[in-house]
């Protein structure tokens, strides 16, 4: 018996036989072409993009899982991204690169941009780009792009370097009981598919492909991150019992999905979802989320080769509003800077970018760009219950300056006789020590608060959440962070405004109880966690949770 470790990406326990899935390695030579070859290489590239698009469209048509369709639709958009195509053709024309090298270097630069982002959700989009790259590069080099996961034995555990949507689209999902990959993150495609299937998944399992052989008996523990190879009888029996208990728990959660998030003491709370696209909003409402507590807009900017126009943004926000069927959607304004960059905007080099020009600071510097987004959001508010949420606010002046811009946009819309919600709510993210200490004053100028625990934790504790050397110090359960959250919730209650939380902490089961005890009224989590949070709320009393919180401190 041998045990390896991985990062828990999807809860569950898988017990079965390993299948080690190995994909071919594609080599790109660093050669140069002549000027006479440029037109041919551009044609090869364009034809490969066309063929890859046709293949993805076919996969969408045969996909059985909604999550796969959503991801593949996003892949289609990435593949046909103007910035990606233009930059590749520029490298062919200007650098005399052959199409394969030009495409690889372009994709590498885009992936680097995503990987430098200290946001697991955004970083995972780099994984999507890698999948798009492999398909397109195979078509550029005329290499067969095949799947080998369509015929599997019952209770198969797939062990791989990495799993992409193209790998899993034809996967015999009915016979898969767990997924393990060396690469990937908690928000990667491996995690999405595993959560959709309700099976265990581990990512970041270093060298697992070297230690596990096809046909090995394997246990995948999606709670503790263990990969147990060829377990003894006692260990096997113990895990079979744990697996059966968890499967019963999942059945209980399914019953909760369409029920209100009402505590045992009779108070009904809101369980919302975080989203970054129209498809993700649709998925959230399929899970009967109370609303969208965080709609990220940075993708609209990052997947473009220019600052998106008003019309481009309006169409997306309008679709989001329509998908909500009357439920509210909090649209966070552009949250770029720090670790998130744009390919078409050059940021000044900063010694401490996380403390630099980011969030609302950047928006108020680029007021013309900001007003374009505000105008698009306001126009979309005529189609649903839209709210505006401002990131990285540390002062009342930032709120007032933004409201002044909103008033200017409203004035223009009125002159043009364009409809919008004249009473649209404007709230802020609480992410810094300054916003915590000034919560009472900020609340008097806001319609709602939303606590972003990811940034709040790193700023309260002075711990860079992307620094692996001090990862053990990054702890949202730290008493200083919990006390800060309580201050914010109390300030919101005192000033009669709503207070939610859209950070990952809201979806942690232990944290949910603490937050209930603190008086939090809105939890915004990933779609896959909506039922779990509802279940926790429905099986607890607020008074009991308050006692847990007081004892915790």
Distances (CA, A) of 435 to 334, 355, 460, 479, 488: 19, 14, 11, 18, 9
SS3 523: strand
DSSP 8-state secondary structure symbol assigned to residue 6: -
Residue 499 designated active-site: no
Separation of alpha carbons 46 and 31, rounded Å: 20
> How many H-runs (helices) and E-runs (strands) does the chain carry?
22, 17
Q: Which residues of 162-196 are buried (b: 16+ CB within 10 A; e: fewer)?
A: bbbbbbbbbbebeebbbbbbbbbbbbbbbbbbbbb
Separation of alpha carbons 521 and 506, rounded Å: 11
CB 311 within 8 A of CB 357: no
Residue 189 designated active-site: yes
Other CB atoms closer than 10 Å to residue 246's CB: what's the count?
16
Separation of alpha carbons 179 and 200, rounded Å: 7
Q: Residues 281, 499, 502, 545: which is the catalytic one?
A: 502
Name the pairing type of β-strands 176-181 and 200-203. parallel
Question: Among 118, 114, 91, 113, which Cα is nearest to 102's?
Answer: 91
Q: Residues 189, 363, 535, 545: which is the catalytic one?
A: 189
Strand partners, 501: 451, 523
SS3 548: helix
Separation of alpha carbons 399 and 401, rounded Å: 5
Q: How far is CA 274 from the centre of its chain?
A: 8
Residues assigned a catalytic role: 189, 502
């Amino acid at each position: 018996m041998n045990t390896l470790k991985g990062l828990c990406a999807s809860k569950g326990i898988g017990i079965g036989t390993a299948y080690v899935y190995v994909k071919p390695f594609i080599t790109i030579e660093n050669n140069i072409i002549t000027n006479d070859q440029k037109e041919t290489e551009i044609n090869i590239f364009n034809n490969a993009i066309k063929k890859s698009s046709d293949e993805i469209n076919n996969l969408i048509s045969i996909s059985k899982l909604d999550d796969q369709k959503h991801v593949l639709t996003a892949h289609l958009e990435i593949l046909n991204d103007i910035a990606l195509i233009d930059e590749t053709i520029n490298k062919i024309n200007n650098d005399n690169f052959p199409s394969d090298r030009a495409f690889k270097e372009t994709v590498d630069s885009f992936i680097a941009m995503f990987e430098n982002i200290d946001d697991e959700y955004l970083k995972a989009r780099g994984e999507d780009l890698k999948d798009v790259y492999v398909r397109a590069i195979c078509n550029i080099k005329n290499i067969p792009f095949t799947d080998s996961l369509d015929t599997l034995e019952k209770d198969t555990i797939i062990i791989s370097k990495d799993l992409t949507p193209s790998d899993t689209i034809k996967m015999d999902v009915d016979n898969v009981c767990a997924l393990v990959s060396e690469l990937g993150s908690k928000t990667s495609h491996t995690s999405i598919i595993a959560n959709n299937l309700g099976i265990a998944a581990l990512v970041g399992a270093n060298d697992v492909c070297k230690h596990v052989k096809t046909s090995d008996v394997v246990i995948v523990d999606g709670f503790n991150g263990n990969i147990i190879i060829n377990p003894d009888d006692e260990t096997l029996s113990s895990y079979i019992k744990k697996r059966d208990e968890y499967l019963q728990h999942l059945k209980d959660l399914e019953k909760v999905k369409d029920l209100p998030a009402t505590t045992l003491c009779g108070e009904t709370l809101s369980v919302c979802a975080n989203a970054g696209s129209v498809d993700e909003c649709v998925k959230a409402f399929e899970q009967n989320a109370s609303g969208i507590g965080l709609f990220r807009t940075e993708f609209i900017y990052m997947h473009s080769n220019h600052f998106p126009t008003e019309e481009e943004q309006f169409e997306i926000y309008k679709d989001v509003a329509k998908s909500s069927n009357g439920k509210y959607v909090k649209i966070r304004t552009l949250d770029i800077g720090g670790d998130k960059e744009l390919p078409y905007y050059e940021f000044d080099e900063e010694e401490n970018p996380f403390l630099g020009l980011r969030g609302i600071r950047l928006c108020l510097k680029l007021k013309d760009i900001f007003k374009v987004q505000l105008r698009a959001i306001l126009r979309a508010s005529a189609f649903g219950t839209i709210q505006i949420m401002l990131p990285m606010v540390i002062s009342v002046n930032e709120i007032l300056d933004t409201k002044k811009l909103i008033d200017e946009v409203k004035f223009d819309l009125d002159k043009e006789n364009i409809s919008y919600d004249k009473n649209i709510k404007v709230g802020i993210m609480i992410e810094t020590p300054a916003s915590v200490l000034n919560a009472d004053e900020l609340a008097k100028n806001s319609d709602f608060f939303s606590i972003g625990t990811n940034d709040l934790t790193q700023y309260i504790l002075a711990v860079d959440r992307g620094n692996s050397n001090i990862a053990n110090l990054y702890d949202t359960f730290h008493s200083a962070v919990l006390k800060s959250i309580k201050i914010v919730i109390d300030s919101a209650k005192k000033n009669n405004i709503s207070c939610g939380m859209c950070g990952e902490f809201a979806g942690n089961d232990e944290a949910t109880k603490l937050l209930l005890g603190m008086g939090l009224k809105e939890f915004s989590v990933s779609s896959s966690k909506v039922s779990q949070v509802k279940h926790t709320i429905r099986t607890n009393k607020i008074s009991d949770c308050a006692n847990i919180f007081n004892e915790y401190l």
